[in-house]
Amino acid sequence: MNITILSTKLYKPLSRTRVVQRSRLIEQLNEGLDRKLTLISASAGFGKTTLISQWVTDCERLVAWLSLDEGDNDSVRFLAYLVAALQTIEENIGEGVVRALQSPSSPLTESILTVLLNEISALPYKFVLVLDDYHVISAKQIDDWLLFLLEHLPPQMHLVIATRENPQLPLSRLRARGHLTELRNANLRFSPGEAAEFLNQVMGLDMTPGEITALETRTEGWITGLQLAALSMQGRGDIPAFIREFAGDNRYIVDYLVEEVLQLQPDYVRNFLLQTSILDSLHGSLCDAVTGQEGGALRLEYLEQGNFFVIPLDYRRQWYRYHQLFAEVLVMHLKADQPDHVAELHRRASTWFEQHGSVADAIRHSLSAEDFTRAANLIEKAISVLKRSRQEAVMLGWMKALPDELVRYRPVLSVWYAGALLAGGELETVEDRLRDAEQWLETTADIRERQENQPAQKVVMDEEEFHRLPGLIAVYRAGLSLVLSDVPTAIMQARLALSLLHKDDRLLNGAAIALLGLACWRNGELEEASRMFGEGLSSVQQAGAISDAINGAIALAEILIVQGRLREAMHTYERGLQLAADQGEPNLRGTGDIYVGMSELYREYNDLHAAEQVLLRSKEQGEHTGFPQYNYRWRVAMARIREALGDRNGALELLQEAEHLYMSDFFLDVRPVSALKVRVWITQDRLGEALDWAREQGLSVNEDLSYPREFEHITLARVLLARNMSDREGRFMLEAVRLLERLLQAAVEGGRTGSAIEILIVQAVAHHMQGNTSEALVPLERALNLAEARGYVRSFVGEGQPMAVLLEAAAKKGITPNYVRRLLSVFYKDEGGAPCKQIVSKRPVQPLSEPLSERERGVLRLLETDMSGPDIARELRVSVNTLRTHTKNIYDKLQVNSRRAAVRRAEELDLL
């Protein structure tokens, strides 16, 4: 797992032999065991850890304990320690999580927690998990995971959080649902009786009730304040005078009392306290290395016995830690008393941690010592471990702490720094870092000569990694160019990378080939894009980068969809899920995006229930199973389902949310959310907003066409058709028809069958709007022939009533009869999904002197609804005057003079 577990973090602090028995609080904690969470949130020094330790000692349940520190903000490390804590009560629990953490391509997702929760649910006993010092956690991802745990917590488990500040959890909701037990400052403060027991029995003083009351009042029951006061009073004769002078803000009280305590100690004890205060955890050998003296273990034991805020971390009493507030004040005094010695102390600590295999602590202390050369050496040697354990964020933080001038002497660090910046979307300085590395891409002899001239700055720690840099730099430049839409440069750099990389480097070769495929995609060369991207994915997969292979499968499916190869796209998604399952990680990062893609295909198949279910499944897995664009893509997919179900306002709300979440990445955004919004506006007769969009985008019917803007140009054609309804001259209709003809030619030549089908459908609707059914059937028949074997449904039925009329006309002509019958059945289904009307070819002959036309029958169906005349005109995409003409003809043929009579007569003749 590349993470060394410090077992002392998993031991609950041992209860002292002399301690105040807090029965009232123990009773509250026991009562809270039937709830999900116990939160002990109080200021430093209120005895949170001591209370919990006292409680769990006599608790009837098993207890798993995890003492947190700042390093646990790294998500991999947090999960590793969480599992390790649980394994102290159940040896084999969490093995699936351990395997996931060992995989370099495995994502850190809520699905991992799901596996863990399922294992907990199978335990035959109840237990308590304690997370101590949770206030050191600032990573939002860990807060999110904790909330996920609480929302799905099995009854076997009870969670206890001890913290100085409220965690980022919905406490009000937990409180309202009865899931929360809380202890805060007011609960934890010593009562007068507890203060008396503490001062006289635990601390060994002989104070009168009046003195105890006065001191308890001054400290407001603050336990650490009482402890520090007791230490200061030992050996004093005039205790009442001391109590009278004891006043002020808590922080100043601490400063005063620690100074008093320190001044009363022998020099060797005082120096030991100050010099070891830089350490988060204390070990005899470590303390010896830092102080340069011997006897550290004995001194730690002495400090514990003397109540010097030293907390044992294991049963063997080898590891300790200072109370955090006490340590902070000690460090303050260390910097004041020995400012020139602080850096050396950190360097000694760094050396000890390196020798004992804790690289992260070694780097941290080197940075604290501002020994940046040593820190850079350690970081560079740790890169391979960091990559395998996916700790890029930690690596980036360390690199940002190094001086820029030093990083420039480190080509390997510079390049990986650039890669981390590119992955995090910090594009501005990526090229600068790559150029810093390039200045060192000379012969090894030249570099060694520079090292001899500058012995304090060793340029290269790993020669093999250094030799990969030219190809890696080209790969990163290709990726950067692609994100910035500079396709020619992306192609040039990707080809350069292939010429520089060793053939056995499957990962980087695969990445370069995949980038070439993405460049072809942006150019509209879909066949070549599909071929090259598939080849690149195969190489990446062989290199073991499974999550990256899944990410590529998502892009490949998008390309196939544009080509009209819907079934192949679905198979590509399914293979991606199988690839994750084969790794034993069905919720691997990227699977969330795969479910989003599958939802789009189910929607096109008009299986709206399945489309919504896979989206919900994706959401249940957690957002962490998706890549950065997941939240954007999920909302777009759900918006299109809402639109298909007739909830246009709901669709627009989701699209509005999606618009704010979009961020540019390597993949082409072929369906901009702004254009999707326009299509909804058209159905709502919000033509003014649609026209504003076209102007803002600078769209024109005469401009050069390109694949990246194809969807927007098709949308522009739809806007022009909508505008034509109020245009007596028909100018906008002519512009739309010409644009559609150009778009169709470009789509056919580019092999974009999916686009061609939509363009043909819009052409058919345009002819229908002109009242020319025979001409409308020409593009419609062509669209049906292209779409039948591919499974298209929603593209047709989403056009509404005009398409129903055209499909009935197609049915009469015998055009793809089975397919047309299937499409028409979507229009004639009741709420239960069963056909409620017969298809045209099976309807009885109308006993009328003159049959109704297809257009008139379409109008008649809408007359049966509650829609107003203007609403019917908008649905049919005709003017109100045209609707009146059709209505008059219907009345004449049915020999009626009102809408209600027309509907009744049509029912008698089975015309509806």
Question: Residue 748: is its pLDDT beyond 50?
Answer: yes
- pLDDT category, 256, cuts 50, 70, 90? low
Average pLDDT over residues 762-772: 90
pLDDT in the model for residue 908: 66
Look at residue 699 in the predicted model and tell me its pLDDT. Answer: 92
pLDDT attached to residue 260: 61
Residue 836 has pLDDT above 70, yes or no: no
Instruction: State the pLDDT at residue 760.
Output: 97
Question: Is the pLDDT at 722 greater than 80, yes or no?
Answer: yes
CA distance 193 to 186: 15
Amino acid 830: pLDDT: 40
**Local confidence band at 754 (pLDDT 50, 70, 90 cut-offs):** very high
Confidence tier at 347 by pLDDT (50, 70, 90): very high
pLDDT at 138 over 90: no
Percent of the chain surpassing pLDDT 90: 36
Q: What is the mean pLDDT of residues 315-335?
A: 79
Q: Are strands 282-283 and 319-322 parallel, antiparallel or unpaired?
A: antiparallel
Is residue 782's pLDDT more than 50? yes
More confident: 521 or 730: 521
Task: Tell me: pLDDT of 325 over 70.
Answer: no
Between residues 307 and 503, the one the model is more confident about: 503
H/E element holding 864? none
Average pLDDT, integer, range 895-912: 75
Q: How far, rounded to the nearest angstrom, does the alpha carbon of residue 374 sit from its chain's CA centroid? A: 34
Q: What is the mean pLDDT of residues 834-857?
A: 55
Overall average pLDDT of the 34-58 stretch: 86
Check pLDDT > 50 for residue 840: no
pLDDT level of residue 248 (50, 70, 90 thresholds): very low
Mean pLDDT of 481-493: 91
Query: Greater confidence, 854 or 245?
Result: 854
How much is the pLDDT for 153?
92
- Give the model's pLDDT for residue 379: 87
Q: Give me the mean pLDDT over the 444-450 stretch.
A: 51
Read off the pLDDT of each residue in 244-255 and give the average, rounded to a whole number: 53
What is residue 387's predicted lDDT score, i.e. its pLDDT?
59
Residue 868, classed as helix, strand or coil, is: coil
Greatest mean pLDDT range, 418-422, 459-463, 724-728: 418-422
**pLDDT for residue 838:** 38
Per-residue pLDDT band at 728 (split at 50, 70, 90): low
Contact 390, 104 (CB under 8 A): yes
Tokens for 236, please give them. Answer: 């004093």
- Which pLDDT score, from 0 to 100, does residue 326 have? 72
pLDDT value of position 618 = 87
The model's pLDDT over 619-654, given as tens digits with 9 standing for 90+, comes to 887 766 767 678 889 999 999 999 999 899 999 999
Over residues 453-460, the mean pLDDT reads 53
Q: What is the mean pLDDT of residues 74-78?
A: 85
Q: Which two tokens stand for residue 615?
A: 């989206």
Amino acid at 705: L
Query: How crowded is residue 206: how many other Cβ atoms within 10 Å of its Cβ?
Result: 8
Which band of pLDDT confidence, cut at 50, 70 and 90, is reported for residue 837? Answer: very low
Task: Compare 896 and 193 and report the one with higher pLDDT.
Answer: 193
Of 272, 281, 466, nearest in space to 364 by CA? 281
Tokens of residue 656, six digits = 């509005």
User: Sorting pLDDT into bands at 50, 70 and 90, what band is 842?
Assistant: very low
> What pLDDT does residue 846 have?
43
pLDDT at 861 over 60: yes
User: How far apart (Å, rounded) are the C-alpha atoms in residues 212 and 215?
Assistant: 5
* pLDDT of 299 higher than 60: yes
Residue 587 has pLDDT above 80, yes or no: no
* Of 518, 882, 470, 433, the residue nearest 708 (C-alpha): 518
Q: What is residue 389's predicted lDDT score, i.e. its pLDDT?
A: 42
pTM of the shown model: 0.58
If one compares 623 and 444, the residue with the highest pLDDT of the two is 623
Provide mean pLDDT across the span 763-768.
93
Residue 462: pLDDT band (50, 70, 90) is confident
Find the mean pLDDT for residues 796-825.
92
C-alpha 159/C-alpha 127 separation (Å) is 9
- Label residue 245 by pLDDT band (50, 70, 90): low
Closest CA to 792 of 651, 623, 647, 605: 605
Q: Distance between CA atoms of 823 and 808, rounded to whole angstroms?
A: 10
| Secondary structure letter of residue 170 according to DSSP | -
> Residue 455: pLDDT above 50?
no
- With cut-offs at 50, 70 and 90, classify the pLDDT of residue 385: low
Mean pLDDT of the chain: 83
Helices 526-542 and 506-522, interaxial angle, to 10°? 160
- C-alpha torsion 614→616→622→625, nearest 10: 20
Confidence of residue 446 (pLDDT cuts 50, 70, 90): low
Bridge partners of 311, per DSSP, are 321
Q: Which of 391-400, 793-802, 857-866, 886-895 has the lowest mean pLDDT?
A: 391-400
Span 649-691, pLDDT tens digits: 999 999 999 888 877 677 778 889 999 999 999 988 899 999 9
pLDDT in tens, 527-583: 888 889 889 888 888 877 777 788 788 888 989 999 999 999 999 999 888 888 887
Q: Is residue 154 classed exposed, middle or buried when 0-12, 13-18 and 19+ CB atoms within 10 A define those classes?
A: middle
User: Distance between alpha carbon 517 and the CA centroid of its chain, in Å?
Assistant: 26
